[in-house]
Chain A
Amino acid sequence: MNNKIKNLAAIIITCCMLGTQANNLAVESTESIIKNPIEHAVQLMHQANQANEDSRQLILDANTVRKQLKEQRTALIRAKNNPQINSKESQEKIAQLVEKLESNQTQGANLRQQSKLLKQQAAEHFEKGFVQKWKQWVSNTEPLTMDDTVKNIFAHNAQLRSVHKNMLEKANTPEETISQKRDDMSLQVPALVEQNAPPDLNINAFKFSRQEQYFAHIEVHTDETTQSSQSKNVAAVPLNKIHQWRLMISDINGEPLENVKIQVEGHMPGHVHGLPTAPEVTQEIAPGVYLVDGVKFQMKGWWVMKFILPSDLKNKANSVDLNPDFFTFNLVL
């Protein structure tokens, strides 16, 4: 255990507890002393989880306080109607409770924010360690895009799946989705789907699994036979062409996750349709490096790819968890 880091984290957490606007810069400045980014990431993750747990506790407490406050207020009303009772005590109590409630809420929110930042940093450090460790297989660390040479800027705007006649009236018409008139176009082309992706969407090609027990990276796989036809841009996926990805998975210690069966899913949010093909993991080309074949995107826009791990993988408590862990990657192509 690195004591310095532990102390630093303690400071951060106290800062939050005090309700000051704690800044995360403190953690970033320790970068120079990090020898093992993966280990460091794991520690950050622990701290993040602790902060999250603390935040949750504060919110729970706040709920209790809220209940007490309600009781006091009712008591106060009763007191006002009865001159025999001294309402002063009650008023003081109320003031105290309000203060506690506010402080709990601020602290809780700060801690939650802190936990989020720590998780982000954990992911960044893990990525660094991962790239070092898996040098041979990582050739692209950028988010995946679609090749710039792809001229096709169309995408169909299918936003409905099953509708009742009455609902149709409530759906907006394509005209309403027409993008704000662009200065450089006289054609009023309907809004392109990529605009549906929220601006702060995480499109990183490195991700922790949902249960934060594994870490994965995706990239387009090109071998000699396909290289010539593929784009030179290693981050680019082709349009409307079946191609392959590499999915690299490590456990929380940075060791490859070997020999597991992985299920592949994908869809376009806001489009209610899945992938045009059914991609599969066809091979484990090296320990923890899985070949995903049959990937195809028939349009630009926001896609979500999901890789589901077997449900019988051991979780942190070393017990069998029936909710399988999984990775989701957002792509804005």
Chain B
Amino acid sequence: MEKTSKVNKGCNPRSITIGLLFVLLAACTEQNTETPSDNQELAKKTKTEKKITSDTKELYQFTDIDIQFLEPFLISNLGEPPKSVSNQYSENIDAAKLGKKLFFDASLSNNKQVSCATCHQPKRYFTDGLAFSKATGVTKRSSPSVLGAAYSPWQFWDGRKDSLWSQALGPIEDHNEYNTSRLTYVRNFLEKYPNEYQNVFGDIKLDQIAQLPKSASPKGNSQEIKNWENMSKTQQDLINQVFSHIGKAIMAYQRQLTIPPSRFDHFLEALVEKREAELPKLLSPQEVKGLRLFVGKANCASCHNGPLFTNYEFHNIGAPDPIDKPVELGRYQGVKDLVEDEFTCLSKWSDASEQDCAEMRFLKTSGPELVGALKTPTLRNIAETAPYMQMGQFENLQQVITHYNFPAPPVYNREQHPNRPHFDILPLKLTTQEVVELESFLHTLTSPLPKDDPWWGLEKDID
């Protein structure tokens, strides 16, 4: 009995050794020659151990069909990000190198302190640990990891951007983030990176930009908007051209980011390669129980599936709206923003023909299921990226699982919701023990920080 609880304590080196011990024990209990002080005691003990051993053994036994079912979760099955039709520079390494500089360059922001990495910090798996991100102001939502974002057809929680390049242009003009005007950023950028720009994108018409006002943007304050409107169409196009190129470089960078295998992947690899003896060393019995719950009774895998643990679809799981904020309209608002967006696949700044922008051409713009629906996030490195949900409504994984276990449906606000929000989950009725097991499984999805991978930009963090 005592051994069971030890085994269930989780995955620390001790429990792994205990797991191993059982494997050995199974083979040698018969020959156990230790002189017993109390024969009966020993008999009882051996019996319990035998039982645990066979239970544990069963836990680690997966059939071929099980393995076939689990294999698509392997990170090594991720492959290259889907081809980008709207960004012809998406695979250009020089563009990616420039993009990396821009991702970490705070000098181009208004207060010279904000870069993408402010809110997407490599050592925090490209998140910031906050419920609402902070830069020059406070953002409306929590910053998700950018790892794996290159695989998603839509960006942001509500999918209001249809590419990474278009997404990257958002923070630059957002007054809570970079707080710069489009023209200011473009000018400062060209002054700082003229060679890098020319190398990838060709000629710069710096002289023409020099004549323009200090700041201008169709999205800024009233003065900036006025300045923008006073510019000629050619001048506006010139700025937009460079601006979209900047996005394309940042996108090329993010496409280079890879996720190293986690303990879960090592376990699955061993399963696939039939190295059964190694399994108990790789995941503890508790974690394996959690894995079985994740794809089974807890039903998480119905949305969180594939190598990134996401289907990239929009769902409403009813994370409670903070009372002091407007209701979460989710995808309903996201598609509205997409239709209005200046930099979509269908725009002048895209490298795709209209024909190739199928996702935008056949964009679903209505349907009750859009209301309050958010993009399923990746669960890779989830234990390291608290708080959780689009506004950090949950501080830890236990709270998340408790929500899934006994969810309250979204509250219908007749003034703000166009219709009663959709609701996509059912109560799970997991036991307390099962909640613990499920949580311990989520911890196995943490990858080691790849200190030697230059794209991750962890150089500065190694001291």
Contacts and interface: CB of A to CB of B under 8 A. Distances in A.
A30 interface: no
A283 B244 CA distance: 33
A175 B72 contact: no
A35 interface: no
B362 A175 contact: no
B320 interface: no
Nearest to A162: B420
Interface residues of A, number: 45
A143 interface: no
A158 interface: yes
Interface in A126-169: 151-165, 168
A164 B412 CA distance: 9
Given A184-B63, A274-B369, A189 B295 contact: yes
A152 B297 contact: no
B438 to A, nearest CB: 13
> Which of B64, B358, B408 counts the most A-chain CB atoms under 10 A from its CB?
B358
B62 A168 contact: no
Contact of B421 (A151, A162, A242, A280): A162
B302 A163 contact: no
Interface stretch (B7-15, B209-217, B303-311): B303-311
Contacts of B365: 278
User: Which of A155, A178, A278, A279 has the most chain B CB atoms inside 10 A of its CB?
Assistant: A278
Interface in B342-392: 358-359, 361-365, 367-369
A158 B373 CA distance: 13
Contact of A160 (B62, B292, B424, B428): B424
A159 B426 contact: yes
B299 A174 contact: yes
B301 interface: yes
Q: How large is the interface on B (under 10, 10 to 19, 20 to 34, 35 or more residues)?
A: 35 or more
A222 to B, nearest CB: 15
Interface string A217-248: 00000000000000000000000001000000
A166 B419 CA distance: 19
Contacts of B311: 154, 156, 298-299
A294 B369 contact: no
A156 B362 contact: no
B359 A242 contact: yes
A293 interface: yes
Looking at chain B's contact residues, the main secondary structure is loop
B418 to A, nearest CB: 12
B423 interface: yes
A280 B420 contact: no
A8 interface: no
Nearest to B293: A188
B423 A187 contact: no
B86 to A, nearest CB: 15
A171 B407 CA distance: 12
Nearest to A164: B409
Interface in B270-327: 292, 295-299, 301-303, 305-306, 311, 313, 315
Interface string B410-437: 0010000001111111111100000000
A100 to B, nearest CB: 51
Contact of B302 (A154, A187, A274, A293): A154
B296 A298 contact: no
Contacts of B423: 160-163
A172 interface: yes
A189 B69 contact: yes
B68 interface: yes
A276 B72 contact: no
Contacts of B420: 161-162
Contacts of A280: 362
11 contacts: A156-B313, A157-B302, A158-B315, A160-B426, A161-B420, A162-B409, A168-B426, A187-B69, A187-B295, A189-B295, A278-B365
Given A162-B421, A174-B297, 14 more contacts: A152-B305, A154-B302, A155-B302, A173-B427, A174-B298, A174-B426, A184-B65, A186-B66, A187-B62, A275-B364, A276-B313, A276-B364, A277-B364, A278-B362
A-B pairs, top 7 by smallest CB distance, nearest first, are: A294-B362, A162-B420, A156-B302, A174-B299, A242-B358, A188-B296, A277-B362
